[in-house]
Structure formats: C-alpha cells, structure tokens
C-alpha cells in the first residue's frame, strides 16, 4: 500500500478468461522506484514474465496513469498503455492525451490490467472505483466512430463532460500488427500494436464515467512553487506559449517546413531527404509546404481542442471535402499531426493535403497507427516499383485514391495486398525478400526525422526500447529547437550521451504521466518540485534521474530476455551507406551509427546492448523469485511472436 499523494492506491486486475475483477493496492516501494504510468506499467509487464506470446492470454495489457495524471499539473491528461508488442516482440508503451487518463484517476483508479481472453466480445465499464465487464457483441466489427456514438448513447453521458472512451476498431479485431487504441477525440495510443493485443483479448472498449475529483497535493507549498515555475516556463517558451508559440498555432505540424528546410524530411520511403530533392531529381510536382501546419491553419482548420489542463492546444481539427471515385467525401477529424502528414504524404510520394485528412480519418476509424500505415504503403510502393508484389496487387507512388481505400482494406484484412501489409514491415520483408525496402528498427517504422540529417535520431531510433521511435529520446529538441541548448544536427559526437539523457528524462515524464511537450519549456527542477509537492516525497534531481534510468534499463533488460542485443540496435542500410542522399544540405551525409553506439553503451554501462548483472544491482532492479523472471543479464533466445 502506498500513502504517496497523487495516487488513488487502487489497481483493477481483470481476468477476461474468468470474467473476474480483483482490486489491489500499489506497492509503496514500486511507486517510489518506478514513479507510475509507464514505469509501473513496465514493472507489471516485466513481473508477468517475458516468455509470453504477445497475442496469447498470458500477455498483460496495462492501462496506467501516474501520480501527476488528472491533477493541476500542466499537460497532465496522459495515460500509458503497456504490454508486449505483437509488432516488435519488445516491451512497448503507448500514450494518448485527451481526458481518459484524468477521468480514470477521478474514477478512483491508478490502473487497469487485463489478462486472459474473453469467450465473447466485452467492454469494461468503470465508475466509482468499480469495474464491470459488459457484452460488446453488438459493437464488434464497428469502426471507432460508430462505437463511440453507440456507447455515448447507451451510457447517457457526454464525452468531455463526464464520460471517456478508449476503443479499438476493426484493425485491432482483425490482428493488424500496428493496430492502436483510440479515445473519443481521435487521440491514439498509436505505436506498437496495443490495439492488436486488446483485440486478441476480445476487449472492444473501456468506458469511464466520473465527475471531476482532482487529487490534492500532499505538500501544497512545494507544489504551488513548482507549478507556478512550470507555468511561467511554458508561457514564456517560443515553442509552447499559448496562442503564440509554434505548437499552439500550428500543432506538431509546425515541423513540416522546418524539416524540409533542413533537408531532413524522409521522402519517397526515405529515398530522398526532402520534397525539394525529389522534385530536383524526378521533376514531380510535390511540395511539403502544401501539407504544413501553416497551410493547414490557413485553409482547413476548424477547431483547436485541448487535453486536460493544457493551455497549448496543439491538436488541430480539420474539415475537408474530397471527390473520391465520383463521390464527395466530407470529413472532419483530429489530429492533423506532423508524423501523420509525413507518412501518409511525402514519404508516400505526394503532398495532397485534403486527401491526407481523409486517410487520417480512416486510420482513426479502423484503429490503425498512421505512421506505420503510411510507411507500409510507401514500402509497398517501392516494392511495386521493383516487381516484388506482382502476385498480390501493386501500388504506385502518390496514388491517393487507392491509398484511401487500402486503409480500410488493411483494417479489415480484405484482399491479398492489404492482408500482407497488415503484418507490418518485418514480416513483409521476410516473406518478400524486401529487407532493403523496410524503414524499420526492431519491426517498427521510423518517424519524420531523417537520421542522416539529425544524427541524434539515428542513435535514438536504434536504441529505442519499443522499435524505431522519435518519442523515446527526442533529440530534435536540441538539434532543431535549441532546447535545452542548440547542438549541430549533423555532428555525431556527443549524441550517444545526449540521447541517453533524453531517454531517461522522457521515461520520467511518461511515468508522471505528462505530455512530452512540457519538456520544451520545463526541466528537471520543475519536475522535482511538482512531483515532491504532489506525492509528499523529498527526492533530489539525481534521485529522479536515477528513476528514469532504472525504468529505461528495466525495459532494455526485458528485451534482452527476449533475445535482443546490440545487433538489433541498427538502422536501415540506406541511412548507413553512401549512395542515396538528398541534393541539399544532407548531400553526402550518412549516419555514423557504430561510433554513436559505442559512446551510448559506455554511458549506459551496457555490454553490446545487454544490461550486465552489476548494472541491475546498481539500480536496484530485482529479478528472480517473485518477479516471474529468472536472474542473469544475458540475452535469451529470440521471441517467436
């Protein structure tokens, strides 16, 4: 039992096979060592044991909030979903904003964990500290949008007032390996296939009904000081200032024009490093500005909704009218993000702004990750060009009409090409001898940052514990935005240590659980004061950073036990070898991964990507009896997922 402030000290353990719900307290020592949300979720998944089939009944699916979730802390509307990934075979955590995390806290819970597999489709109803499993047969097969409307009507509530929803679409039901979990406002727990795990358990949705019962800080004076300090930093930052900063005005897509100008925007499956370099080489009329945040705001923006306790309002809701196969489609959707626009746009060989909005809406309704969906189609386009998909159906560069339909086909696994692409890049590469066409690390595709231009993202992609990801350690903060200080994006020296520092810092914020965007303004000092004030603890900056390192190391050790080591900390060959380059600032650049890995491992104290026993001891990571995991720092046989 924990008496720390910010916690409800209640986790629901739901056995779907038996249809039973049990309740337990949070271990006080675990709360101190792993903070909450991502950290505690990783501990629960670790204790379940690594030798589980990601789509089997023994895999744990944990929905966790942190000690700062649902509080007055700015940008504290996040929730973490932790499990073993069917896409990568690694541990994964995926977060979304909105109100689900806050409302789960207000309903009396720090977390919900699911194991087993229901005989028939069910959904979980959460209210006043209780969880009830209810029949979802009438919802199975429905898209997320229809599911949302149906459950809002059944529960006589209103999203944004007293009701929250987390649901899967056909993608999760049909085992798309990069299926995600959507909430009522089209926010996604998007990476790693968490929705696929949810579907394997016959769990369609989680409905949370609550009033606003915001936790009070255990040490009000310390909390007030930290909160005021954080608010001042956020309102004064050029990146986060409400109604002034880039994120507030243009959302994450403020980075589109910046990435283009830096010659660091992967285009046409990473063959080029900007749309300009593609135009110069091929003469194709494609321009990233057309899908930029500035263009979106000027032409198709209709609303700027926000998450719990957030003044930034980075989410951009758009409305478009598109003619598709003789039919006029009217679409209003969130969120026109940078990563979405990149993957469904330039990386797929086009910059049709409105068609991307339609694709985004279909991904949200199917419940599939927009980054992997776009990148899988880009991979298919390159494979088609090379004659590797002739027997299942081909896809041409920039064919937006086919892409729009293909998204729903992937979600429902209709047709040979869609069924193949639903398996994700690793399996497609293995089945079609197409490894050179895959922009994936550990089975998950890269984000919108070319590692030949931003070297920190190279080592970040390679060492991410959940496969290629920009959110494990966001070095573009320093390489592009100069936060906390500007570093040369083309330099590789120092990037191993810088990446590890960012990874640990983000492990902290993910465990609080607060939005990473606060890190554009806040630092460890603001984190410490708000955490101490809310929980009543008295930790130092060093203590908190050690907790971040402990969380990241526990995740790496879990992966080691599933057979991952330094050989898996790699990048697609096109980023490592001379030959395919941009024709602008990035010309001649490649990613010096080996040099950065050596620096990174030395800083981490790992041996060829494996956590040694002494490092586990130093960080107080317990293995052996009682954890479901045997001791020893060596890598086990690779997991067959």
Q: Which residues, given as ranges, of the chain have pLDDT below 50? A: 632-641
Cα separation, 53 vs 611, whole angstroms: 23
pLDDT, tens digit (0-9, with 9 covering 90-100), for 520-532 = 999 999 999 999 9
User: Please, which residues have CB within 8 angstroms of residue 363's CB and are 6 or more apart in sequence?
Assistant: 340, 344, 369, 370, 373, 407
**pLDDT for res 639:** 40
Angstrom CA distances, 551 to 28, 93, 458, 535, stand at 16, 12, 22, 19
pLDDT, tens digit (0-9, with 9 covering 90-100), for 587-638 = 788 999 999 999 999 999 999 999 999 999 999 999 865 566 655 444 443 3
User: Please, which residues have CB within 8 angstroms of residue 326's CB and are 6 or more apart in sequence?
Assistant: none
**pLDDT for res 463:** 98
**pLDDT for res 212:** 83
**pLDDT for res 245:** 79
Does a cis peptide bond (omega within 30 degrees of 0) precede residue 386?
no
Show the tokens assigned to 405. 């339909």
Report the C-alpha dihedral over residues 563, 565, 567, 568, rounded to 10 degrees.
70
**pLDDT for res 396:** 97
User: Please, which residues have CB within 8 angstroms of residue 569's CB and are 6 or more apart in sequence?
Assistant: 462, 463, 597, 609
Question: CB atoms < 10 A from the CB of 411, how many?
Answer: 27
> Does the 455-520+539-619 domain belong in CATH 3.30.365.10?
no
CATH code, residues 238-445: 1.10.569.10
Cα separation, 460 vs 346, whole angstroms: 22
Per-residue exposure over 229-267, b if at least 16 CB sit within 10 Å of its own CB, e if not: bbbebbbebebbbeeebbbbbbbbbbbbbbbbebbbbbb
Cα separation, 335 vs 316, whole angstroms: 5
Judge whether 11-209 and 455-520+539-619 match in fold.
Answer: no
CB 104 within 8 A of CB 112: yes
Q: For the chain, give every domain's residue range.
A: 11-209, 238-445, 455-520+539-619
**pLDDT for res 328:** 95
The one-character DSSP state at 242 is: T
Helix residue spans in 237-352 (DSSP H): 246-250, 255-261, 275-282, 293-299, 338-344
Helix residue spans in 433-561 (DSSP H): 455-463, 476-479, 495-512, 524-535, 541-561
Cα separation, 129 vs 106, whole angstroms: 9
**pLDDT for res 192:** 98
**pLDDT for res 583:** 62
Cα separation, 63 vs 14, whole angstroms: 11
CATH architecture of the domain covering 11-209: 4-Layer Sandwich (3.60)
**pLDDT for res 351:** 98
pTM assigned to the model: 0.96
């Amino acid at each position: 039992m924990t008496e720390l402030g910010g916690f409800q000290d209640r986790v629901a353990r739901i056995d779907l096979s038996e249809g039973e719900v049990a309740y337990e307290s949070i271990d006080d020592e675990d709360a101190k060592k792993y903070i909450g949300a991502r950290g505690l979720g990783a501990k629960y998944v670790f204790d379940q044991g690594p030798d589980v089939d990601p789509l089997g009944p023994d895999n744990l699916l944990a929905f966790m909030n942190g000690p700062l979730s649902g509080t007055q802390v700015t940008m504290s509307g996040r929730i973490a979903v932790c499990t073993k990934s069917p896409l990568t075979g690694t541990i994964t955590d995926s977060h979304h904003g909105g109100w689900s995390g806050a409302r789960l806290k207000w309903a009396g819970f720090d977390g919900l964990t699911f194991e087993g597999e229901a005989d028939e489709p069910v959904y979980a109803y959460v209210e006043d500290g209780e969880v009830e499993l209810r029949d979802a047969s009438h919802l199975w097969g429905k898209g997320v949008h229809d599911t949302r409307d149906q459950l809002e009507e059944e529960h006589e509530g209103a999203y944004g007032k007293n009701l929250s929803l987390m649901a899967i679409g056909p993608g999760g039901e049909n085992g798309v390996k990069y299926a995600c979990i959507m909430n009522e406002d089209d926010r996604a727990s998007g990476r790693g296939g968490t929705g696929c795990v949810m579907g394997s358990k016959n769990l369609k949705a989680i409905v949370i009904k609550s009033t606003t019962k915001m936790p009070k800080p255990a040490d009000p004076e310390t909390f007030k000081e930290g909160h005021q300090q954080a608010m001042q930093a956020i309102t004064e930052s050029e990146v986060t200032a409400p109604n002034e900063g880039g994120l507030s005005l243009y959302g994450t897509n403020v980075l589109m024009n910046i990435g283009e100008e830096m010659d660091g925007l992967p285009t046409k499956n990473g063959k080029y490093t900007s749309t300009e370099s593609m135009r110069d080489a091929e003469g194709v009329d494609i321009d990233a500005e057309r899908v930029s945040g500035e263009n979106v705001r000027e032409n198709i923006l209709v609303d700027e909704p926000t998450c719990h306790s957030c003044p930034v309002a980075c989410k951009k809701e758009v409305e478009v009218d598109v003619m598709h196969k003789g039919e006029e489609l009217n679409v209003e959707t969130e969120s026109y993000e940078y990563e979405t626009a990149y993957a469904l746009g330039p990386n797929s060989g086009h910059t049709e702004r409105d068609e991307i909005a339609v694709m985004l809406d279909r991904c949200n309704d199917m419940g599939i990750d927009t980054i992997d969906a776009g990148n899988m189609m880009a991979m298919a386009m390159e494979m088609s060009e090379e004659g590797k998909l002739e027997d299942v159906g081909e896809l041409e560069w920039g064919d937006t009409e086919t892409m729009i339909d293909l998204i729903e086909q992937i979600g429902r696994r209709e047709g040979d090409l869609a069924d193949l692409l639903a398996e994700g890049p690793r399996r497609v590469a293995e089945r079609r001898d197409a490894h050179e066409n895959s922009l994936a690390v550990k089975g998950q595709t890269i984000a919108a940052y070319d590692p030949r231009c931003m070297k920190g993202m190279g080592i970040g992609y390679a060492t991410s514990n959940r496969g290629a990801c920009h959110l494990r350690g966001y070095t573009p903060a320093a390489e592009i935005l100069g936060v906390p200080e500007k570093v040369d994006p083309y330099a590789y020296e120092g990037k191993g240590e810088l990446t590890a520092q960012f990874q640990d810092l983000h492990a902290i914020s993910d465990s609080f659980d607060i939005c990473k965007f606060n890190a554009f303004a806040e630092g460890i000092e603001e984190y410490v004061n708000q955490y101490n004030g809310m929980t009543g603890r008295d930790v130092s900056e060093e203590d908190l950073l050690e907790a971040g390192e402990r969380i990241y190391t526990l995740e790496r050790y879990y992966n080691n036990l599933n057979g991952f080591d330094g050989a898996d900390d790699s990048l697609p060959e096109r980023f490592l070898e001379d030959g395919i380059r941009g024709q602008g600032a990035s010309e001649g650049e490649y990613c010096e991964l080996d040099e950065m890995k050596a620096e990174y491992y030395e800083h981490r104290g790992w041996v060829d990507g494996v956590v040694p026993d002494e490092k586990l001891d130093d960080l107080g990571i317990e293995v052996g009896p009682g954890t479901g995991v045997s001791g020893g720092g060596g890598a086990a046989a690779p997991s067959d997922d």
